[in-house]
Structure 1
Amino acid sequence: MTVPLDPDQAPGTTRTLLTEGGLVRRTVLEGGLRVVTEAMPGVRTATIGIWVGVGSRDETPTLSGASHFLEHLLFKGTRKRTALEISAALDAVGGEMNAFTGKEYTCYHARVLDDDLPLAVDVLADMVTDSLITAEDVEAERDVILEEIAMNEDDPDDVVHNLATSLAWGTTPLGRPVAGDPHTIRGLSRAQILRYYRRRYVPSATVVSVAGNVDHDRVVAQVAEAFAAVLSAAGDARPAPPRAGSSRVRFRRARGLVSRPTEQANVLAALPGLSRGDDRRHALGVLNAVLGGGMSSRLFQEIREKRGLAYSVYSFGANYADAGMLGVYAGCAPGKLGDVLKVVRDELATFAERGPSEEELERGKGQLKGSVVLGLEDPASRMSRIAKADLLNGELASLDDLLARIDDVTLDDARDVARMFAGRPSLAVVGPFESLDAVDL
């Protein structure tokens, strides 16, 4: 069963979405704020996430990194709490709190004992709705973010993934790093960040998601109280619909090198993937498992087990509202890079031409189904799933329906989607090379 999440659901109304595995309910509050919960009576914890539908791809070039900068600043203090009081409130009850920024959303989350959920709701809502964002905090956190960017630049794995994204989507917002770059971070002013905060952090773009040993009606009451000031100011706005696609997003096949004196070469070969809502995404998930998703996958067996060319090798998919990427990563000795890339290209070409065997297809289905179920065993993963369903997809599939969609992938479906693996991939390399001309690619 797949349940559409109605953007026109009337404020103040509650719907039961799913009862399979856990009771999922959704209430729309005044101003379009959505509250979604999943009851898991067998646990003694609750995980809350406040998800805002804004990320790095919503930034102009001069605002690059603003979403991530803002995420940091919301921990620095409100009119009600200092930065120390924010962290101490959750520490005092043994809770955990953090946040992350993506290309299409930002999430502030906490995990606490079920009895302490009202405190977590109050603290996170206070941060999201009433942060001060003082000039002093902006300057202090600017240095912290510059250090974070520098730390990421010291990690070849991070560098090669950022390079691959940049090669694929160029200077479009989707191609820029989430954290921004040192130039844009140094240029962001307090006024710019504050305007961005007030314009983007609105109830209609926000989902409060909670999973664990919770009662939906109590959570709704707690959220309504914590967000009362911004809800009354928002009026009769309705929930924002899922993000629409952009005709400006085009995948580019290019090559790029970041020269570093590393002991290992890091390479990422990328091809166009599927957008988040594409009906073929389940077939692609199965194919990813077959190609490089585990120890029995083609790439792992051929590159590591049979030839000993690399320790780490895997494939992955990245999906956005209007674009996607298929990626193959490997880390190897610099002198073996040419051999690794030849195997990768040969495997991609063979996969595109013939697709998987029946045995591989069934194994890939089993692996994908197992990872889906195992990944939903804790409240944090359930919280994330129901939030993304509302914020990004506009529908929530039951677990049985999701597993059935994977089971329904036929060999013909898989071989049809496998043709996406054809063509010369985009290539990102980080390693001790003066130029790519010096490597047998």
Structure 2
Amino acid sequence: MYETLNVYLENGLRILMHKIPRIKTMSCGIWIKQGSKYENDETNGLSHLIEHLIVNTSTSSNSEYKKLIDKITLNGVEYNASTTKETTSFYFTGLTAMLPQCIEALSHIAINNLEFNEENVENEKKVVMQEAVSFYSSFNQIIERTSQALWGNLDIGRIIVGNMDNVKNAKLDSIKEIIKNSYTPENAVLVVVGDIDYEKTLIEIEKHFNAWKDIKTREYEEIVNSEPGIYYNSSNGKNSVISVGIRIPKYDSIKKVNVDMISTILGNPGLESRLTQEIRIKRGLAYTINSFVSYYKDKGTLGFTVVCNGNSAKEIVEIIMKELISVKKHGFTEQEIDMAKKILETKTILSMNNLTYHLKFLGKTYCSDKLFSLENEIRKFQKVKNSALIETMDQYFLDNNLGFAGIGSFNVDEVINSLNFI
């Protein structure tokens, strides 16, 4: 049984409470539907900067918030914030007794932490720019670059840390304009997880969030780049990183579970995955081979990434394409499917025991206007058959869904010529 309570406040704020009996901890957070997806060329990076400014006690002029955070942290509560392509979130995890204080802190974040000291803003810009430098100088950017190749430099193709010049030159007026148009009750989701009393928790939420004014949220029309493309950044060094990307369905698609299975069998970061066997075990061409899936409200990205010597890039892409063509035609063995089911079931069960992950899962799905349970995800994995995997590959493993991202030193033209399902 998956017990949840879904309610609205009069100002439009959506609230989801999930009761997990017999645990002594809670986790709560608020999700604002504002991320790099909603930015343009001039504002790309500001959602992430705003996250820093709002959560940070040193940039906020709200003394009550500072006192509250001091009390919360002294009682062992962990708190953090995150910006993604579609949302900005703020969340707390700690002992259940601290839930009222954490809900109050979330209300300050959403409603009261919106005035900033200009000198402190300039200091925080430096912090955000250092984070961006770290991002752009590492291979970790390959996941975002894959989405950029598939969807263009707009919508979910926009980089979360954004343009450093935008951050450096950001004015308070621009920052306040984004907050005004996006930090609204109807554009937010509040989630609470733990052994909670629904009535008492709701009373606490109403006490602190009823004051949030019901203001109209900015409108957004989904932008879709017509065709996937190529992202390549030439850089010196011994290693390169390459990623073959495929456009996949949105978060709530019935095909999601099939894509998860395909990704796991082909590129799970273990020695048993097909691509690891072909690229690392049989040929010794690379050490790090992975797959990833990124789901969004209206679309998604599947990627197969390899860190390798640039001289091997063309051969590795050829191997990846050969395997994709093979599985599209023949599917997988029953042993591979059973293994993938066990891997995904194990990951899901471990996630259920991680309260912060559980909270973030519910926050993400609820922001997509759907409500999923981790328990139900396990049931879906168990019912997948080879025929369903082949059907999904027939639908999405197509040349007009195929893109490529690469960073390093290799002949990108040779690599691109290998990218097709023919």
* TM-score normalized with structure 1 length: 0.86
**Equivalent in the alignment of 1:256:** 231
Query: How has the CA–CA distance of structure 1 residues 253 and 53 changed in structure 2, closer, same or farther, with 3 Å as cutoff?
Result: closer
**Equivalent in the alignment of 1:97:** 79
**Equivalent in the alignment of 1:179:** 161
Query: How has the CA–CA distance of structure 1 residues 398 and 110 changed in structure 2, closer, same or farther, with 3 Å as cutoff?
Result: closer
**Equivalent in the alignment of 2:350:** 374
Question: Which whole-Å CA distance do the structure 1 matches of 2:40 and 2:315 have between them?
Answer: 40
Q: Which runs of 5+ in 1 are unaligned?
A: 1-19
Q: 1:339-366: CA deviations, max 9, x gaps?
A: 2222111111112222222332233223
Question: Which whole-Å CA distance do the structure 1 matches of 2:15 and 2:372 have between them?
Answer: 14
Q: 1:392-422: CA deviations, max 9, x gaps?
A: 13333472x4333323323221111122234
**Equivalent in the alignment of 1:153:** 136
1:343 aligned to 313, 319, 322, which one?
Answer: 319
Q: 1:222-276: CA deviations, max 9, x gaps?
A: 211222321xx328x9xx9xx9983x31363333321222221111111111112
1:318-357 equivalence runs, <5 A: 318-357=294-333
1:271 is aligned to 2:254: no
Q: How many Å apart are 1:314 and its aligned residue?
A: 1.3
**Equivalent in the alignment of 1:136:** 119
1:218-257 equivalence runs, <5 A: 218-230=200-212, 233-234=213-214, 246=222, 248-250=223-225, 252-257=227-232
2:384 aligned to 409, 416, 427, which one?
Answer: 409
1:59-138 equivalence runs, <5 A: 59-77=39-57, 78=60, 80-81=62-63, 85=67, 87-131=69-113, 132-138=115-121
Aligned-partner SS, 2:190: strand
**Equivalent in the alignment of 1:315:** 291
**Equivalent in the alignment of 1:364:** 340
**Equivalent in the alignment of 1:195:** 177
CA contact 1:96–1:112 (8 Å) conserved in 2:
yes
Question: Which whole-Å CA distance do the structure 2 matches of 1:126 and 1:210 have between them?
Answer: 16
Aligned-partner SS, 2:153: coil
Q: How many Å apart are 1:192 and its aligned residue?
A: 1.1
Query: How has the CA–CA distance of structure 1 residues 397 and 341 changed in structure 2, closer, same or farther, with 3 Å as cutoff?
Result: same
Q: Which runs of 5+ in 2 are unaligned?
A: none
Query: How has the CA–CA distance of structure 1 residues 336 and 147 changed in structure 2, closer, same or farther, with 3 Å as cutoff?
Result: same
Matched AA of 1:362: D
Query: How has the CA–CA distance of structure 1 residues 412 and 244 changed in structure 2, closer, same or farther, with 3 Å as cutoff?
Result: farther
Matched AA of 2:227: R
Aligned-partner SS, 1:35: strand
Q: 1:162-185: CA deviations, max 9, x gaps?
A: 332222222323211111111222
**Equivalent in the alignment of 1:306:** 282
CA contact 1:51–1:206 (8 Å) conserved in 2:
yes
**Aligned sequence identity (%):** 22
CA contact 1:349–1:422 (8 Å) conserved in 2:
no
**Equivalent in the alignment of 1:9:** none
What is the total number of aligned residue pairs between the two structures? 410
Matched AA of 1:113: L
Aligned-partner SS, 1:317: strand
Matched AA of 1:148: E
**Equivalent in the alignment of 2:197:** 215
Query: How has the CA–CA distance of structure 1 residues 217 and 87 changed in structure 2, closer, same or farther, with 3 Å as cutoff?
Result: same
**Equivalent in the alignment of 2:263:** 288
CA contact 2:232–2:405 (8 Å) conserved in 1:
yes
Q: 1:31-81: CA deviations, max 9, x gaps?
A: 111222222233221111111122111122222112111101102455542
Query: How has the CA–CA distance of structure 1 residues 60 and 253 changed in structure 2, closer, same or farther, with 3 Å as cutoff?
Result: closer
CA contact 2:331–2:389 (8 Å) conserved in 1:
yes
Question: Which whole-Å CA distance do the structure 1 matches of 2:354 and 2:398 have between them?
Answer: 38
* TM-score normalized with structure 2 length: 0.89
Matched AA of 1:349: I
**Bigger mean CA offset, 386-395 vs 38-47:** 386-395
CA contact 1:310–1:330 (8 Å) conserved in 2:
yes
CA contact 1:349–1:423 (8 Å) conserved in 2:
no
CA contact 1:249–1:323 (8 Å) conserved in 2:
no
CA contact 1:51–1:387 (8 Å) conserved in 2:
yes
CA contact 1:75–1:83 (8 Å) conserved in 2:
no
Q: 1:144-177: CA deviations, max 9, x gaps?
A: 211111111121232x333322222223232111
**Equivalent in the alignment of 2:21:** 41
CA contact 2:68–2:105 (8 Å) conserved in 1:
yes
Question: Which whole-Å CA distance do the structure 2 matches of 1:410 and 1:112 have between them?
Answer: 40
**Equivalent in the alignment of 1:206:** 188
Query: How has the CA–CA distance of structure 1 residues 244 and 25 changed in structure 2, closer, same or farther, with 3 Å as cutoff?
Result: farther
CA contact 1:76–1:82 (8 Å) conserved in 2:
no
Question: Which whole-Å CA distance do the structure 2 matches of 1:36 and 1:356 have between them?
Answer: 39
Query: How has the CA–CA distance of structure 1 residues 161 and 93 changed in structure 2, closer, same or farther, with 3 Å as cutoff?
Result: same
Question: Which whole-Å CA distance do the structure 2 matches of 1:260 and 1:348 have between them?
Answer: 28
**Bigger mean CA offset, 134-143 vs 318-327:** 134-143
CA contact 1:169–1:249 (8 Å) conserved in 2:
yes
